[in-house]
Amino acid sequence: MDDKVKNLLERVRGTASYAADAAADGARAAGKRAGQMVDVAKLNVQLFDLNGEYNDILRQLGQVMYDTHRGEVPENDKISQLLAQGDEMAAKIAELKGRISDLKQAQVCPGCGAPCSRGDKFCRHCGGAL
Ligand SMILES: [Zn+2]
């Protein structure tokens, strides 16, 4: 691997990522909102848009890496900026996915309290009627 790209990767690695923590917080918060009536279809549209933005950021990061390989010096905070945006997007996406999955598992078994899918007639855990 060329040194310029290696240095770039080291800088990328050196930038602390809090995306995973943020995502976990998002998922926990999403759990509390499980009872809210939100349209899953609307959330899926939001998720689609966010994924588009996220992919664009990843594409830009790839471009910076390739430009570096070609001998261009990246603007100083360009990479940190893109990484921060990527972290932000990843956290939002994780939160939305959490909310969507909570909504899909909106049913709770009256017998054992296990989360069940909306369309289930019987609990997957204890077999009791829902
Ligand atoms: Zn059950």
Residue 26 inside a domain? The answer is: yes
Residue 121 alpha carbon to ligand 1 centre in Å: 11
Residue 83 pLDDT? 92
Residue 82 inside a domain? The answer is: yes
Residue 118 inside a domain? The answer is: no
What are the residues whose beta carbons fall under 8 Å from the beta carbon of 2, sequence distance 6 or more? Answer: 69
pTM tops 0.95, yes or no: no
Residue 111 alpha carbon to ligand 1 centre in Å: 5
In tens, the pLDDT along 23-67 reads 566 555 555 444 444 578 888 999 999 999 999 999 999 999 999
Residue 96 alpha carbon to ligand 1 centre in Å: 27
How many domains does the chain contain in total? 1
Residue 13 inside a domain? The answer is: yes
Helix (H) or strand (E) run with residue 84 in it: helix 78-104
In tens, the pLDDT along 58-109 reads 999 999 999 989 998 888 788 889 999 999 999 999 999 988 887 776 778 8
- Closest residue by Cα to residue 93 from 55, 47, 57: 47
Structural domain for 37, as ranges: 3-104
Residue 124 inside a domain? The answer is: no
